[in-house]
Structure 1
Amino acid sequence: MVKPSKETLIRYLKGNAEGDEKGIVELYLSMDMDSSYLEACIREVWQELDQTNDPEDDHEEKLKFYQLFESRKPEFIQYPPNLSFKENKKRFSLTSKWISSIAAALILASSILYIKNFWQKEASNPETFDKITRIEPNSDQAELILPNGEKIALSEQSGEILLPNAHLKIEKNESGEIIYRSLIPQTAQLTTWNTINTPIAGQFQIILPDGSKAILNAASSIRYPQKFPAHERRISMKGEVYFEIEKVLDSQKRKIPFIVETEKQEIQVLGTKFNVNAYSDEPFTSTTLVEGSVQVIAKESAEMLLLKPGQEARLGNGFQLLDADLDAHLAWRSGDFYFQQEDLSSISRKLSRWYGVEISYPNSLQHIRLTGIFSKSSSLSTIIESLKNIHTLHVTYLAKERRIVLQE
């Protein structure tokens, strides 16, 4: 593409882009570009800004800015908002050198606008953002609840644990996965059920007795027998879980089905990879197929859908069959929030589950939408500040209630 003029780039970096200039520059940033040319423009704007700063600026204020700026760095490695999300995904994965160059450019460009605008926005509550910066998630947390009610913190375990009274052996492998091995003899008729819970701000992965893998998102649970019977493998779940199901044959060489139950539906599987989002506070239950095939059955109506890879079944008042955005549905597995024009209510629910906070706002802010990818290991302030950049917001953090209040 044609390189934007120096004047156009400088106007963009100052936040004064005219007409179609914003889209042109962001398209240029999304492609291979002359980094030295861009950096020269950034330096020019930076020098101009520096000359207009008051030489008597308070040192403590500068230090606060630096700390806040450092906490926001992950926010800037995002897709330019005026481009196709999937197309950007491909472009952004070209080379680590390219990503570093873009990230550095966007960090510098955003810091210019940040210096000019941040302190005016936060003047009414200067400590709010610093408090929110300290809200960080945990990860890899879960507890195993045995049939007798005994609870075992799986995240604290290492090596091998033998529980002869529970007919159970637990191992943690190098990847941090818990491998669950039943010690119940194959001929035994004993059936005992165990439950694994992840807390708010936790996530965990486990290998089930049949070798299938389950990865639990925050505030989720699965309940499963310590030893699967010969005719079927049935578990129940709440929250959000990603499954990779092993194909298992019976003595007659027939495939033994794997069945996942949620409050509103049943999913029948033979061997496949899929994601189920069945949080009780979501408007619908979502089943997304990555590989293989599954049949989803609504418990109330007995309506059925057979999914193909890349499809999503949404169950609300009835079924909807949609083409799935796998990147969006599976981003949590790799440690990211993936928002594509996501509304504030959906964002708030996800942030609440991951950071353990309540987010409240008036109905007048329901129209706010956000596009971008954010690391789940980042401070909550990263996403809150992005919302502030979209819409001028006043943010209050009530620490005792762990509640963030957004207001116009």
Structure 2
Amino acid sequence: MENYSRYFKQGDLIAKYLKGELSDQEREELDAWIAQSDHNQALFARLTQKSAVAGELEKFGSSDKAEAWQRIIAETEYNATNRQSYIGIRLVPYVAAAVVLLIVGVLRYPFNRQSQPTNPVAQQPIDFAPGSNKAVLTLADASKIILDDVADGQIARQADVIITKTADGQLLYGESSATASAKLSNTQPSYNTITTPRGGKFRIVLPDGSRVWLNAASSLKYPTKFMGNERVVTLTGEAYFEIIPQKNAHKQALPFRVRSASQVVEVLGTHFNINSYADESSIKTTLLEGKVRVIKTSPHQAENSTEVILNPGEQAQLTADAKRRLNLIRKVDLEETIAWKNGQFQFKDTDLPTIMRQISRWYDVKVDFQGKLPDTKFRGKISRDVPLSQIFQILQLSGINFIIEGKKITVKS
């Protein structure tokens, strides 16, 4: 099967042009592509005209093209005299999907007119809503609180710790007033676990003020109060951490440790992301700010590294195979790594199985593959707030089809 990544690359450059985000090097690359042929010049002109975008909106259920275009103007500050206005990144969800589909689809179409999907998702009667703020909090006594059902405000109290849910989907831990006795404050900490289902996410502010964004199908176990000379939490799935530096009574830094599968991540104060889903080929720890140490807790071979130190922009990958190799990747795309935390799907030369695993977790569907998997690599960005059918329409442009049976999605090339 043809590799369509070059079309997604040009679509990415045009999208950046429309948003005014091209670097000098990218502008030179785009100019060179435009100059290659009359077709490219005409295509570029089309993709910077409002009529092309407005026409594409009809495929996404817009019954009033003029009204839809006014929404684009309101969302993006687009105007006819400024082609570098914002299109795509700040659009309402269905408009964003239309623009992505237009750029990628029109780029590809002249090169392969025969590869049209035979089973359009748009005709399917079933669709799947995106995920939302959903989680279950398990308290120290094993009782459970469904966070998406409980009212905002104080939801529980454990000893001298008050747990509060905010309206914007956060869980906060704080100490109660002076009613807590010294005896209570010196007891062993109790532990809570917050668990997001498939199709869920949640944010939590830990007792030390550190913030955690929890992705779908994930869990975090933590004490209701950090005590002693370290702060330790346990993660399954994926989470983004912003850790607050702390010191003990002796002015010594209190390390923060995240245990996940066969590794421990040790930090003092930093921002990082851990992806430790069991169905991925490796555990990925990516550093955005500060410095962290990633420690392999179950080394199998002496020649393999047992720990690595990460600097900003680097990633540690602990393979999921029997050898459990710990590898250091010197440069990774940070925007792509935390796109989920910022409400986006973002792919850069990403294969179809990887994309479908993310879709499966976020839309709470089961995914099977039928036939030989295509070797197509995908590039692009789209909001995680759109219905699943809109993402399928984009993927179908590469000749990939989908059969929907209940909550089961079968992928066919």
Q: How does 1:117-266 map to 2 (within 5 A)?
A: 128-131=121-124, 134-161=127-154, 163-164=156-157, 167-173=160-166, 175-182=168-175, 187-266=185-264
User: 1-side partners of 2:327 and 2:40: how far apart?
Assistant: 34
Mapped partners of 2:218, 2:35: distance in 1? 47
Question: Does residue 312 of structure 2 align to residue 309 of structure 1?
Answer: yes
Percent sequence identity over matched residues?
31
For 1:9-20, what aligned pairs fall within 5 Å after superposition?
Answer: 20=37
How many residue pairs are counted as aligned between the two chains? Answer: 340
Instruction: Answer whether contact 2:231 2:254 (CA < 8 A) is retained.
Output: yes
Alpha carbons 1:68, 1:130 under 8 Å: kept: no
Match in the other structure for 1:330: 338
Partners of 1:380 and 1:209 in 2: CA distance: 36
- What secondary structure, in the 3-state scheme, does the structure 2 residue paired with 1:333 have? coil
Partners of 2:354 and 2:44 in 1: CA distance: 28
Q: Is the 8 A contact 2:288 2:313 kept in 1?
A: yes
Structure 1: how far apart are the matches of 2:209 and 2:253? 14
Structure 2: stretches of 5+ with no match in the other structure: 1-33, 73-82, 300-304
Check if 1:344 corresponds to 2:352. Answer: yes
Specify which structure has the bigger relative contact order, considering alpha-carbon pairs within 8 angstroms and separated by 6 or more residues. 2
Alpha-carbon deviation of 1:131? 3.6
Alpha-carbon distance, 1:253 to partner:
1.2
Q: Provide the C-alpha distance between the structure 1 equivalents of 2:278 and 2:88, rounded to a whole number of angstroms.
A: 41
CA contact (8 A) 1:135 1:379 kept: yes
Instruction: Give how far 1:67 is off.
Output: 2.9
Alignment of 1:370 onto 2:378: yes
Equivalent positions of 1:67-86 (< 5 A) are 67=61
Q: Deviations 1:10-48 (Å, cap 9, x if unpaired)?
A: xxxxxxx99755655666789xxxx5xx468x59xx8xx
Choose which of 363, 380, 388 in structure 2 pairs with 1:355.
363
Between Structure 1 and Structure 2, the one with more helix by share is 1
| Rounded Cα–Cα distance in structure 2 between residues aligned with 1:130 and 1:349 | 24
Match of 2:284 in 1: 286
Partner residue of 1:11?
A: none
Query: Is the Cα–Cα contact under 8 Å of residues 162 and 168 in structure 1 kept in the other structure?
Result: no
Task: Answer yes or no: is the 8 Å Cα contact 1:132–1:397 preserved in 2.
Answer: no
Task: State the SS of the aligned residue for 2:132.
Answer: coil
Q: Which is greater in Rg? A: 1
Matches of 2:144 and 2:160 in 1, distance apart?
Answer: 15
Q: Structure 1 residues 398 and 276, CA, compared in 2 at 3 Å: closer, same or farther?
A: same
Counterpart position of 2:410: 405
| Equivalent residues of 1:69, 1:111 under 8 A apart | no
Residue 177 of structure 1: CA displacement?
1.9
Structure 1 residue 407 displacement after superposition: 2.0
Aligned counterparts of 2:99 and 2:147: Cα–Cα separation in 1: 42
Structure 1 distance, partners of 2:253, 2:388, is 45
Q: Distance in 1 between matches of 2:381 and 2:214?
A: 20
The one-letter code sitting in structure 2 at the alignment partner of 1:371 is R
- Deviation of 1:210 (Å): 0.7
After superposition, the C-alpha distances for 1:173-196 in whole angstroms (9 at most, x for unaligned) are 454322112557564222211100
TM-score for both structures, normalised by structure 1 = 0.72
TM-score by length of 2: 0.71
- Residue identity opposite 2:61 in structure 1: Q
Task: Report the Cα offset of residue 229 of structure 1.
Answer: 1.2
Q: Once the two structures are superposed, what CA deviation does each residue of 1:72-116 show, in whole Å capped at 9, x if it has no partner? A: x9xxx9xxxxxxxxxxxxxxx964379799978777788999999
2-side partners of 1:109 and 1:304: how far apart?
43
- Range with bigger deviation, 129-138 or 328-337: 129-138
Task: Provide Cα deviations, 1:299-357, integer angstroms capped at 9, x if missing partner.
Answer: 11271100001111111131221112001001001111001111011011100000111
Unaligned runs of 5+ in 1: 1-16, 47-62, 78-92
For 1:371 and 1:69, the matched residues in 2 are separated by: 29
* Closer, same or farther: CA 107–292 of 1 in aligned 2, 3 Å: closer
Return the alpha-carbon distance in structure 2 between the equivalents of residues 39 and 160 of structure 1: 46
Aligned residue number for residue 89 of structure 1: none
- Equivalents in 1 of 2:63, 2:35: separation in Å? 27
| 1:389 has 2:394 as partner | no
1:229 & 1:284 partners in 2: Cα distance?
Answer: 32
**Matched residues in 2 for 1:313 and 1:294: separation?**
10
| Cα displacement string for residues 252-301 of structure 1 (whole angstroms, at most 9, x for unaligned residues) | 11110000000110000100000000000000000000101000001112
Partners of 1:387 and 1:135 lie apart in 2 by: 16
Q: Distance in 1 between matches of 2:100 and 2:188?
A: 60
Distance 2:117 2:241 in 1: 44
RMSD, aligned α-carbons: 3.9
- Cα deviation code 1:213-258 (max 9, x no counterpart): 0100000000011111121000100000000001111111111000
Contact 2:155–2:165 (CA<8 Å) still a contact in 1?
no
